[in-house]
Amino acid sequence: MFDNNNNNNDSIGEESIPEFFKTFDNALKKGINPGYFDVDELSEIAEIYFSEGKMNEGKYTVNYALKIYPDNEDLIYELLLLLNDFELWNDLLALCEKYHSLKYVWIDGHKLTALLHLGMEEDAFYHFRKSKTKYAGNKEDLSIIYQAMAEALYEIDLYEASIEVIDEIISIIGEDTDLLWLKLQSFSAIEDKENVIEIGLKIQNRNPMDADTWSRLGDTYKDIGELDRAIDAYEFAQSLGLKDSNNLMNLIYAYEKNENYSKALQKAEEFLSEYPGSYLVNLLAINICTQMENWEKGLIFVENAIKLEPQSESLYLYKCRFYLNLGEYKKAIKVLQEGIGKTKDTLGELKEQLDKLRKEYPE
């Protein structure tokens, strides 16, 4: 509930900016009152400003929205999430303090997060104790408070403390999937493979046919270096119908790191059949073919990559190398000539290699 969505650096393209944002922004630039906007529009305006790094404008929008709708609980909820997502901890704490009388669990949860991120650990643990008493009669709200505390402790690298908080709530309400995931991420952070695997088994047994669960487990296993388990999890996610480029990309990386180059290449070809414009995966395939010494197939991916990035000097060197390994010396020389003509050859590597080959294989 209180996860940081990591959207801070995402830029919004001009074509996707709504007209109501442009109207609001123009008013700000002219120094006039922006006028009326509904709740959803104001939330989106603030998010666009924050995502573009315009923090002052975003904060102005937050204050403007609350001035128009001071008691709109949906707006308050959304704005707290925004301030959390963009790590504006002082503003988040101030807003929580302003609306503490509403007595919603999510306000107390955000306050815990803000206090911990601001280094106010003593205040955070005091507020945590108060909140535990406050929500003692409501298991759902109590769980939310514990989750907020555990997530925030994890985010400030207090992994063992986060695990202790989760163990405490599990002793009260029992295990559930969200709590297990929180515990898993902390054990993963401290590279406790035994506990990661144990909890991972519990999670997969709770959601055996959920593709997203398997893909997420694959990420965790990959992070702790359990490549065989990661591959199995990613493959199972795919077999359950997950159509996700990241899952497929992770399979390429995992197979390559595991030195199973034939499977890595198979997954790269599968990826490119779905996303032929991926320059990165063509590069991965080139490297895999190099490891396999599969020069003929490697040339296919080099050609693809050159079509996507014709100015890349290194690609012509790859292509030259592959032709040389196939004994095609004239073609290798021709590739270098082509590369010099299409690129600036800034480092002079293409010309250097061309001169070398001309000496070795004079026509």
> Which pTM was predicted?
0.85
Residues 6+ apart with CB under 8 A from 315: 302, 305, 306, 309, 339
CA atoms within 13 A on the CB side of 238: 19
Residues 6+ apart with CB under 8 A from 306: 312, 315, 316, 319
CA dist 301 to 117, 270, 289, 309, 331, Å?
Answer: 46, 13, 9, 12, 17
- Amino acid identity of 344? K
Count other Cβ atoms within 10 Å, centred on residue 352.
Answer: 12
Residues, the chain: 363
Supply the DSSP string of 112-181, one letter for each residue: HHHHHHTT-HHHHHHHHHHHHHHTTT-HHHHHHHHHHHHHHHHHTT-HHHHHHHHHHHHHHH---HHHHH
d(CA 22, CA 37): 12
Write out the two tokens for 144: 């939310």
Whole-number pLDDT of residue 10? 44
> Which residue is it, tokens 């925030």?
152
Residue 199: closest CA among 181, 214, 225, 174? 181
Residue 120 to residue 106: CA distance in whole angstroms: 19
Q: What is the pLDDT along the chain (363 residues), one digit of tens a residue?
A: 444 433 444 445 566 889 999 999 999 999 999 999 999 999 999 999 999 999 999 999 999 999 999 999 999 999 999 999 999 999 999 999 999 999 899 999 999 999 999 999 999 999 999 999 999 989 999 999 999 999 999 999 999 999 999 999 999 999 999 999 999 999 999 999 999 999 999 999 999 999 999 999 999 999 999 999 999 999 999 999 999 999 999 999 999 999 999 999 999 999 999 999 999 999 999 999 999 999 999 999 999 999 999 999 999 999 999 999 999 999 999 999 999 999 989 999 999 999 999 988 886
- CB contact at 8 A, 162 and 192: no
What pLDDT score does 135 carry? 96
* The token pair that represents 308 in the structure block: 């996507």
